[in-house]
């Protein structure tokens, strides 16, 4: 159910970076067995530095995994390693076609990836291969496909300012969302939160709890509260109250105790 809700949160034909096995296994089951949302390419963040897996995602598997746009050659993938690095800003193209979906007034907010070295050996500084590959995927994709990160996945601080909450994911945007007041895709997030089918199996946690996966469920309440706060700050107190009431209805404390996480 959690995997389905994550996939529901993705825009069509998305690239999704997941946390790891806890959400990836559920997502692959839905895609491979139930043929649900096979348009989404699920890529575990922890596998960005595994050459064999990167090659797999670049090639894809017909009828199972959509290929991911990766600009590295096969040789460059197989020889992945930490790279000597100096901090630099990498401008990411903002195609004119993006104006059909977004109307951004200031070019100051257009994306620049500030990539800093994250490894050291002696006086030398290096960039790890996973961070280098992530930047390459963002650049190579050229906004042809939406890029999402599971709320439970890892991500670097330098891209957080370009995140928009979209259901149980963050969607990577081509501009700083805080400066454009679109930090939350409210309509799409509420489609997930206010659908009672999104939580119909939550009660099974009581009898078949797997802490390695079920701890992720704490994220549900945080999303409800974040969207409710947004409505409250915008003056829509009634909608904020509706979300809080729905949170208590769909995620009762008897199933996910409040004191466990708050």
User: Is the alpha carbon torsion for 240, 245, 246, 250 positive or negative?
Assistant: positive
Alpha carbon distances (Å) from 151 to 7, 94, 169, 255: 12, 25, 5, 21
H or E, element range at 44: strand 41-44
Q: What is the mean pLDDT of the chain?
A: 87
With beta carbons less than 8 A apart as the criterion, state whether 109 and 29 touch.
Answer: no
Q: Is the pLDDT of residue 243 over 70?
A: yes
Give dist(CA 113, CA 146) in Å, integer. 17
Of the residues 185, 215, 243, the one at which a domain ends: 185
Of the residues 159, 185, 211, the one at which a domain ends: 185
Same domain, yes or no: 147 and 251: no
Q: Which residue range forms the structural domain that includes residue 175? A: 2-185
Same domain, yes or no: 171 and 200: no
CA nearest neighbour of 151 among 96, 239, 93, 221: 221
Q: Is the pLDDT of residue 262 over 50?
A: no
pLDDT at residue number 177: 86
User: Is the alpha carbon torsion for 182, 183, 189, 193 positive or negative?
Assistant: negative
DSSP secondary structure letters along 152-180: TS---HHHHTTEEEETTEEEE-SB-TTTT
pLDDT at residue number 113: 86
Same domain, yes or no: 14 and 141: yes
Give dist(CA 92, CA 80) in Å, integer. 23
Give dist(CA 212, CA 258) in Å, integer. 18
pTM greater than the 0.85 cutoff: yes
Same domain, yes or no: 153 and 219: no
Same domain, yes or no: 75 and 200: no
Q: Is the pLDDT of residue 233 over 90?
A: yes
Same domain, yes or no: 181 and 198: no
Outline where DSSP puts E strands in 60-118. Answer: 83-84, 88-91, 112-115
215 burial (CB, 10 Å; 0-12 / 13-18 / 19+) is: middle
pLDDT at residue number 206: 59
pLDDT in tens, 13-64: 999 999 877 788 999 999 999 999 999 999 999 999 999 999 999 999 998 9
Q: What average pLDDT does the segment 61-89 reach?
A: 94
Of the residues 139, 156, 185, the one at which a domain ends: 185
Instruction: Provide the pLDDT confidence category of residue 254 given band limits of 50, 70 and 90.
Output: confident
Give dist(CA 215, CA 260) in Å, integer. 10
Q: Please state whether beta strands 119-121 and 163-166 pair in parallel, antiparallel, or not at all (unpaired).
A: unpaired
CA nearest neighbour of 110 among 154, 159, 174, 156: 174
**Angle at 190 (CA atoms; ends 247, 21), nearest 5 degrees:** 80
HSE value, Cβ hemisphere, 13 Å, CA-based, for 236: 12
Same domain, yes or no: 43 and 144: yes
Outline where DSSP puts E strands in 45-142. Answer: 83-84, 88-91, 112-115, 119-121, 124-127
Q: What average pLDDT does the segment 196-225 reach?
A: 74
Same domain, yes or no: 145 and 40: yes
Same domain, yes or no: 157 and 200: no
CA nearest neighbour of 167 among 179, 152, 145: 152
Same domain, yes or no: 76 and 21: yes
Same domain, yes or no: 166 and 209: no
pLDDT at residue number 23: 84
Q: What average pLDDT does the segment 66-94 reach?
A: 93
pLDDT in tens, 126-172: 999 999 999 999 999 999 999 999 987 777 778 888 999 999 999 99
pLDDT at residue number 216: 64
Number of domains, the chain: 2
Same domain, yes or no: 119 and 237: no
Q: Is the pLDDT of residue 217 over 80?
A: no
């Amino acid at each position: 159910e959690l995997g389905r809700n994550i996939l529901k949160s993705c825009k069509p034909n998305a690239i999704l970076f997941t946390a790891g096995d806890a959400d990836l296994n559920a997502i692959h089951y839905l895609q491979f067995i139930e043929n649900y949302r096979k348009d989404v390419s699920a890529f575990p963040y922890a596998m960005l530095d595994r050459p064999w897996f990167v090659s797999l995602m670049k090639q894809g598997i017909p009828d199972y995994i959509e290929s991911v746009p990766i600009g590295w050659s096969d040789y460059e993938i197989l020889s992945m390693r930490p790279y000597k690095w100096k901090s630099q800003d990498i401008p990411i193209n903002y195609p004119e076609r993006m104006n059909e979906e977004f109307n951004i007034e200031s070019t100051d907010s257009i994306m620049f990836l500030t990539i800093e070295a994250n490894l050291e050996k002696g006086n030398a500084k290096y960039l790890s291969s996973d961070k280098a590959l992530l930047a390459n995927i963002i650049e190579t994709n050229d906004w042809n496909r939406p890029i999402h990160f599971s709320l439970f996945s890892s991500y670097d601080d330098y891209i957080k300012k370009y995140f928009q909450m979209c259901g149980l994911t963050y969607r990577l945007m081509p501009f700083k969302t805080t400066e454009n007041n679109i930090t939350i895709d409210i309509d799409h997030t509420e489609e997930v939160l206010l659908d009672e089918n999104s939580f119909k199996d939550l009660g099974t946690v009581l009898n078949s709890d797997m802490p390695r996966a079920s701890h992720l469920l704490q994220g549900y309440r945080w999303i409800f509260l974040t969207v409710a706060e947004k409505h409250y700050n915008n003056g829509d107190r009634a909608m904020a109250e509706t979300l809080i009431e729905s949170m208590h209805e769909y995620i009762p404390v008897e199933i996910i105790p409040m004191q466990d996480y708050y």
